Amino acid sequence: MQRIRGTEVRDIASTEAGIEEAKRFLPPFLNDDEKQQVIDLLLGRGSSPMTENHLRYFIQGIIKG
């Protein structure tokens, strides 16, 4: 298991080519659509930008079900 901050993922995913690379750092139980949704939220493409804490709680919620 590796720890990586949302800021690092945002930096990697700041280009279209880096998006696939950034998806490597997301939990493996997420499907590609879910990973893309997380990337979109991190990059502020959603209705509101997601902070690192929001992302942490979002992923914890997915894990806990």
Q: How far is CA 1 from CA 14, 24, 41, in A?
A: 24, 12, 23
Gap between the Cα atoms of 31 and 8, Å rounded: 21
Task: Name the token pair of 64.
Answer: 């806990």
- pTM score > 0.75 for this model? no
pLDDT tens by residue, the chain, 65 residues: 567 677 776 777 777 778 888 788 788 888 998 888 887 877 777 666 667 777 777 777 777 76
Domain spans of the chain, in order of start: 6-64
